[in-house]
Chain A
Amino acid sequence: MDAPLIEVRSLKMYFPVGNNILGRRRQLKAVDDVSFDLYPGETFGLVGESGCGKTTVGRSLVRLYHPTGGQILYRGVDIAPLDEKAVMPYRRRMQMIFQDPYASLNPRMTVSSIIAEPMRLQGVAQDAIAARVAELVEQVGLKKDHMNRYPHEFSGGQRQRIGIARALAMHPEFVVCDEPISALDVSIQAQVINMLEELQDSMGMTYLFVSHDLSMVRHISHRVGVMYLGHLVELATVRELYSNMQHPYTQALMSAVPIADPDLAARSQRIVLQGDVPQPIDPPPGCPFASRCRYVKPVCREVLPEMREVAPGHLLACHL
């Protein structure tokens, strides 16, 4: 296998959330000690429920956040501690596609100036920009006469295409897709997913695909990581994970996905978890899933399970 494009080592992202009664700062541990590798040309799916920290991981990797701790090795260089200026050269290689195509496009800018903006910021020459914008517009399936229109004139699917064109402008190596289809209708979702796959085939980009849509993650990803309450609890290739999932949370999560097939749905056994996801503010020691786990043992409440390899390439953090 090739050398990893990005190695994430013990990534931590804490947010301060006011003081407790003793006047000490309280911390929301959105991402706590997460490690994984991303290989060139692969799609890595990151799944979990809202508040599990999957979006924060994505945003930290492209350095929209300044991580609290840990390393992000981009081709061997640690970009986690770099300041804004030093990180600038890396920004052109890493891009992000956002969830909400209604909020992520400036309503006062035309489509062509939205797509041109990253190139302007990186100091690309004016005539080169114009040519590249025309090329991108075509690549994402928009028409030439769309270029001088404003975002409000487009549907959700078309807006997401504009966001994708903007992300591709600087020929990135790595793109974080943060829930890129969750705001779109079913028939449009498939259009966007197919386009992302075709772009990857032709340009060899690496994707971090953050989503709560487990069936779409299964469809598009090569490897998948499952997050719960700021921790990565299981990681494996798609085939391995969906056939041999071991973490009780992964099992519950997968069984909760409604199956679009009436006979299979009637036969399948749903594992219904009790209660809600706890708050990641000052979490108790031990396994983050201990409070909802069916198989919980005393050790789970005291010691945080380490990631260990249960099969080649299959990592699991569980005491069982």
Chain B
Amino acid sequence: MNLLEVKNLNTSFHIGVGTVQAVRGISFHVEQGESLGIVGESGSGKSVSMLSVMGLLPNYADIVADSIRFDGRELTKLSGKALRAMHGSEIGMIFQDPMTSLNPLFTVESQLTEPLRIHRHMDKRQARQRALELLRQVDIPNPEARLKQYPHELSGGLRQRVMIAIAIACGPKMIIADEPTTALDVTIQAQILELLQHLKQETQTSIIMITHDLGVIASMCSRILVMYGGTICEQGNARDIFYDPRHPYTWGLLNSIPKVQDAPAGKLIPIKGTPPDMLKPPAGCPFSPRCRYCMPVCRAYMPPTTELSDVHRVACHLMHPHAPKITREV
């Protein structure tokens, strides 16, 4: 069953010099208990699309969607108050930088018990008891002492564990993790990824993992969306994306990182140029200005989505039966 189903989501920001079209007509779903990865570069719309689903964007953002269904309810029709009741109880969020997303003025205890008292109406003692359990669940040693501390007294890894404890406090059905390990060192990243995987197995929570790190995606996610220029250019199972990618942008991403068994002699194949300016995105395929296989049609029309299998979908004109047959350069 689909826990979340988004149809034709468009998000734009009205700023002084024009309108930034951050997300342009994307549709996707998240199944119960699955971990979905969203990869893309900065400005590809991956974070904005999730914030739009959550209704967490500022007023000058314009969010238009045919439908956003979460757990049988239509979110586009919910009031702000009803949406807020879902935040932190049914959907948990983990942000990139735990130093800026935790409040420096409050102790771990007060931040961790807040969702419990608001959503679960616990009293102070119950909430404290549950907070201790949560800290143990995210493997924080000496939880009694940690409750009294402020965020600045904790290391980056511990702060991110506190963030995760807050996100899972009310037993959410879905967790959105937006670059949860980007600010951390690799050995701490390994700890946090291990913890997230463990929590997912234990609680059957769905996880949406937003990241630019293909390594994190490969080890965490079973299904992947690749975003570029506010659109989904390719989606599929992890194996489809890593072993049978079809979109030239996905090829470019995979060729930009060193191979696992890379001898120092191997060359990287970068993507030429820079990501599009979303104030005036290209009329056709957003990747067309950087694509080495670009055809005239690519500049004029947005490519339709081709279904290669139930889950593997590609938005590229090269998929057309009359287009030249091109395979990935490795």
Residues of A within 8 A of B (CB): 49-50, 155, 157-158, 185-191, 193-194, 197, 212, 214-216, 218-222, 238-239, 252-253, 255-266, 270, 272-273, 276-277
A80 to B6, CA, bound (A): 61
A175 to B271, CA, bound (A): 26
A277 to B184, CA, bound (A): 12
B268 adjacent to A193 (CB under 8 Å)? yes
User: Would you call B61 an interface residue if the criterion is a C-beta within 8 Å of the partner chain's C-beta atoms?
Assistant: no
A218 adjacent to B258 (CB under 8 Å)? yes
Chain B: CB-nearest residue to A154: B274
A270 to B191, CA, bound (A): 10
A311 to B155, CA, bound (A): 37
User: Contacts of A49 on B, CB cut-off 8 Å?
Assistant: 185-188
Please provide the 5 A-B residue pairs with the shortest distance between their CB atoms, ordered closest to farther.
Answer: A258-B215, A190-B270, A219-B258, A256-B190, A190-B256
A238 to B212, CA, bound (A): 26
User: Contacts of B190 on A, CB cut-off 8 Å?
Assistant: 255-256, 258, 270, 272-273
User: Contacts of A197 on B, CB cut-off 8 Å?
Assistant: 267
B186 adjacent to A264 (CB under 8 Å)? no
User: Contacts of B270 on A, CB cut-off 8 Å?
Assistant: 187-191, 193-194
A320 to B272, CA, bound (A): 48
Chain B: CB-nearest residue to A158: B274
Nearest-CB distance from A181 to chain B (Å)?
11
Chain A: CB-nearest residue to B258: A219
Known A-B contacts A219-B268, A270-B194; the reply to A256 vs B186 at CB < 8 A is yes
A185 adjacent to B258 (CB under 8 Å)? no
Excluding A187-B253, A190-B255, A215-B215, 7 further A-B contacts by CB distance (< 8 Å) are A185-B42, A186-B214, A187-B275, A258-B215, A259-B218, A272-B190, A276-B155
B157 adjacent to A257 (CB under 8 Å)? no
A185 to B216, CA, bound (A): 15
Q: Which of B256, B264, B269 contacts A221 (CB 8 A)?
A: B264
User: Contacts of B155 on A, CB cut-off 8 Å?
Assistant: 276
B238 adjacent to A262 (CB under 8 Å)? yes
A155 to B43, CA, bound (A): 12
Nearest-CB distance from A268 to chain B (Å)?
8
A to B contact number (C-beta, < 8 Å): 126
Chain A: CB-nearest residue to B155: A276
A272 adjacent to B185 (CB under 8 Å)? no
B189 adjacent to A256 (CB under 8 Å)? yes
A28 to B139, CA, bound (A): 29
Q: Which of B212, B215, B260 contacts A185 (CB 8 A)?
A: B212
A265 to B194, CA, bound (A): 13
A79 to B270, CA, bound (A): 39
A255 to B269, CA, bound (A): 25
User: Contacts of B194 on A, CB cut-off 8 Å?
Assistant: 270, 272
User: Contacts of B264 on A, CB cut-off 8 Å?
Assistant: 218-222, 238-239
B186 adjacent to A257 (CB under 8 Å)? yes
Interface flags for B233-252 (1: CB within 8 Å of A; 0: not) read: 00000110010000000001
User: Contacts of B262 on A, CB cut-off 8 Å?
Assistant: 215, 218-219
User: Would you call B257 an interface residue if the criterion is a C-beta within 8 Å of the partner chain's C-beta atoms?
Assistant: yes
Chain B: CB-nearest residue to A215: B258
B258 adjacent to A261 (CB under 8 Å)? no
Nearest-CB distance from A284 to chain B (Å)?
18
User: Contacts of B217 on A, CB cut-off 8 Å?
Assistant: 260
5 A-B pairs with C-beta separation under 8 A: A188-B270, A188-B274, A215-B215, A272-B187, A276-B158
Q: Which of B157, B260, B271 contacts A259 (CB 8 A)?
A: B260
